A and B are shown apart, each in its own frame.
Chain A
Amino acid sequence: MDLSAVAFYVFSILIIGSAAIMVFAKNIVHSAFALMFTLAGVAAFYALLYAGFVAVTQLLVYVGGILVLILFGVMLTTRGYFEKVRTRTVALLPSSIFVAIIGALLIAVFVTTEWSKMPLEDGQVTMTGLGELLLTDFMLPFQVTGVLLLLAIIGAVLMASRARYPQQRPHPDNPGHPEGDPKGPQEPGQDPQQSADGDKGSG
């Protein structure tokens, strides 16, 4: 057993264990941190597979970007303290059986198929090849991805920072009055209807 085999087994235990913690943890913040270990372990797998650039991109984008974004989402969608950040699970037993069947089928297919294999060559520098591919064969997807990222940024900023709706969910302490913009142009005759709408929205 050489070093890469030891590294493989250590990181596979890390990945599967922390993914299981992520799925079954009651507290969603614990799930997010377990997801961090899973993503870092997958980055280590990429490094084991001689995909250094993909490993670094995984660390930068997933662990540095997406995970922080998810943590911000957790913090912005909870009221109060982190002890209350608990989530429900439904139908755990039947869906576990279903997922176990699917996983067993996948593993059976993976193990029994005769994949056409290339003769192994030792690690080579992939950066040069990736750069050349990016500017020749993958030129169009590269440019389209840039446009897509721009659209995603603009769309996310627009959706997240849009002005609040005038009649929103009612304030929990004072259900009769929706916490809207008090300075808004409200006609006196229009007011009962607006609070009625707010009441309807609370259910």
Chain B
Amino acid sequence: MVLPEWFAEPGLNHFLVVSAVLFSLGLLAVITRRNIIMVLMGIELILNSANLNFVAFSRYGLLSLEGHMIALFVIIIAAAEAAVALAIVLNIYNRFGSVDVEQISELKE
């Protein structure tokens, strides 16, 4: 089989490139979408790409099991963040009747 050398065996760079693409897509979701819940989903995508970097470096780089630990803590904090953020979103929806981030520009009505 004539395959290029970089195509055959996935290494550290392959995982890093996938995580960079994931980060870009998450950033695009945060910038362009106007629904708060879509912005939250973009943030989850960005956190996942960071986690993928940590685990890839703990497999291929010098970061041993600490990379796994950091990934676990990031997952836990993401869960707490999602719970609190969705409670805030519910309050915003009850107060403003909309979850569009451009219409929510007042601190106090």
Contacts and interface: CB of A to CB of B under 8 A. Distances in A.
A1 B1 contact: yes
A5 B5 CA distance: 12
B86 A110 contact: no
Interface in A42-84: 42, 45-46, 48-51, 53-54, 57-58, 61-62, 65-66, 69-70, 72-74, 76-77
A23 B22 CA distance: 11
A4 B20 CA distance: 21
Main secondary structure of the interface of B (DSSP, over half): helix
A129 B60 CA distance: 17
Interface residues of B, number: 78
B34 A115 contact: no
A54 B41 CA distance: 20
Contacts, number: 246
Main secondary structure of the interface of A (DSSP, over half): helix
A77 B99 contact: yes
A201 B92 CA distance: 12
Given A51-B58, A99-B27, A89 B72 contact: no
A110 B75 contact: no
In the complex, which range does the number of interface residues on chain A fall in? Answer: 35 or more
Interface of B: 1, 3, 8-10, 12-18, 20-29, 31-35, 37-38, 40-42, 44-45, 48, 51-52, 55-62, 64-66, 68-69, 71-73, 75-84, 86-91, 93-97, 99-100, 102, 109
